[in-house]
Amino acid sequence: MVRTPSGKLLLFGATGDLSQRMLLPSLYGLDADGLLPADLLIVATARSGHDDAGFRAFAEAALRKYVPAERCAEAALGTFLARLRYVPVDASKEGDFKALTDVVGSTDKGLSIFLSTAPSLFEATIDGLASAGLAGDGVRIGLEKPLGYDMASSREINDAVAAVFPEDRIFRIDHYLGKETVQNLLALRFANSLFEPLWKEGGIDHVQITVSETVGLEGRVGFYDGAGAIRDMVQNHMLQLLALVAMEPPAHFDSTSIRDEKVKVLRSLRRIDRTNADKMTVIGQYSAGAVAGGAVPGYAEELGKPSDTETFVAIKANIDNWRWKGVPFYLRTGKRLPSRQSEIFIQFKQVPHSIFEARGAVLQPNKLVIRLQPDENVRLLLMSKVPGLDRDGIKLREVPLDIAMPNAFADSHRRIAYERLLLDLVEGDQTLFVRRDEVEAQWEWVDAIRDGWSANAMKPRPYTAGTWGPSAAIALTERDGVTWHD
């Protein structure tokens, strides 16, 4: 498929935290390495009243703060900053979009838009772009979450976008899909004959996916208390990881084939609803405790009022298809947990018969640990004999085979997720973006769970900050003879 890179990039929310920490550093890194189209114009917009010079100074300060000093070459900085223009726009004022059109100009050579805005402003922003002539045939739009708070609000936003942009020009962003190790999961499965024959109910005992955070609200009070852990993490990031682990081999590595297989998994998730939500899920909310050796307040104290919002959720999920029948997927995410990590843990089934048992050896099942953050790493745990004469019996020990990505690819520059996603947006590759039917399958599953919580009057169980959630989360797995991988 031939794709034409956009000649211009329009960046909404350009003065926000995401822009400073991720978007501007990502675009600078791509430009410094010669990966952006040579004549790409970057037009930034937000409500702040900068002019071009003021925004370039703002962008330079962000780059010097968030880009490693060794990457901040003066010549490269100057070249990148010269690409930038700025137009203040209040999305609620249709007239502001006229000034945007004057700076962006013609979209005949393509325009890519990165839109990060409050859900309440999505429709007004899309209408403003359309009325200003910034939604023509050569225009793509990238949508940063949150894309709604449930199926109904998600459909409302997607309907507003679809009224102006066809699906093949909509790029819904889940930044986890841009992480190198997430993509390496596909290579691990589909480029090696070692794993795929075992990657099913006959070879895998269970799968765990953990996304844990040590932070609390961190300035996200307005969003988080209306969302909670299941909408903040499970509905998007974790279900995307589950889909990549569980998907069937696609025929090709392209956007249609990959996303077709992911949506099949999401539609095969066994429903959790009013009949079983209390048995298949655990929710919690952190109370005061200690994280990283320092005292931290409870959620209600940080919020300044009582709340029933969950800051922790654990779920036992099942996929009802031939490959995964009987294999549980345990999902766990929360705030104020002991460590920050995103990890996929796959436990293979035990060998059917141990020839070493009579000699006193104890076997452990093989395990594959795919660590996404903070350190990208793939670890395979195998059984090996302990050196010795074995006169008192054979001793076996679990030993790791590690592939630390920074070490294995020391000669390659490691890129953050938004570098890849922004470049794919500019170049028009949808493979790592989320299709509407995926989003709706995710919301359908999550909305049923939340309705189950309400119908069963489930309230978050308290857990002390710095621990791995409520004790009921341990019981969720241990009743199946499974222990969380901490």
The Cα 242–Cα 346 span in angstroms is: 11
| Burial grade of 130 (CB within 10 A; 0-12, 13-18, 19 or more) | middle
The Cα 429–Cα 40 span in angstroms is: 17
| Burial grade of 122 (CB within 10 A; 0-12, 13-18, 19 or more) | buried
Q: Write down the pLDDT at residue 91.
A: 84
Strands (E) located in 159-203: 170-172
Q: Does domain 180-410+437-479 have CATH number 3.30.360.10?
A: yes
Residue 392 one-letter amino acid: D
Q: Is 262 assigned a ligand-binding role in the annotation?
A: no
Which residue's structure tokens are 């942009």? 165
What b/e string do you get for 103-113 counting C-beta neighbours within 10 Å, with b at 16 or more? bbeebebbbbb
The Cα 285–Cα 58 span in angstroms is: 38
Q: In this structure, what token pair is assigned to residue 348? A: 């293979």
Number of neighbouring beta carbons within 10 Å of residue 142: 23
* CA distances in angstroms from 339 to 169, 313, 359, 400, listed in the order given: 38, 16, 39, 21
Band of the pLDDT at 101, cuts 50, 70, 90? Answer: very high
The Cα 408–Cα 462 span in angstroms is: 42
Q: In this structure, what token pair is assigned to residue 111? A: 């325009």
What number is the average pLDDT over the span 434-458? 97
Q: Write down the pLDDT at residue 228.
A: 93
**pLDDT of 424 above 70:** yes
- Residues with active-site annotation: 237
Q: Is 47 assigned a ligand-binding role in the annotation?
A: yes
Residue 295 one-letter amino acid: A
* Among 240, 221, 224, CA closest to 310: 224
Q: What mean pLDDT is reported for the chain?
A: 91
C-beta contacts of 224-228 below 8 A and 24+ residues apart: 224/309, 225/303, 225/307, 225/309, 226/149, 226/309, 227/146, 227/149, 227/309, 228/309, 228/310, 228/311, 228/313
* CA distances in angstroms from 150 to 156, 226, 425, 444, 447, listed in the order given: 10, 11, 26, 8, 6
Band of the pLDDT at 407, cuts 50, 70, 90? Answer: low
Band of the pLDDT at 120, cuts 50, 70, 90? Answer: confident
Band of the pLDDT at 406, cuts 50, 70, 90? Answer: low
Q: What is the pLDDT of residues 69-94, one digit of tens each?
A: 888 889 999 999 999 999 999 888 87
- What residue ranges do the domains of the chain occupy? 8-144, 180-410+437-479
Fold of 8-144: Rossmann fold (3.40.50)
Q: Write down the pLDDT at residue 1.
A: 47
Q: Is 232 assigned a ligand-binding role in the annotation?
A: yes
Q: Give the bridge partners for 485, in sequence order.
A: none
**pLDDT of 2 above 70:** no
**pLDDT of 439 above 60:** yes
Torsion angles phi and psi, residue 388, rounded to 5: 155, 175
The Cα 26–Cα 163 span in angstroms is: 30
**pLDDT of 411 above 70:** no
What number is the average pLDDT over the span 7-21? 93
**pLDDT of 337 above 70:** yes
Q: What is the pLDDT of residues 223-282, one digit of tens each?
A: 788 889 999 999 999 999 999 999 999 999 999 999 999 999 999 999 999 999 999 999
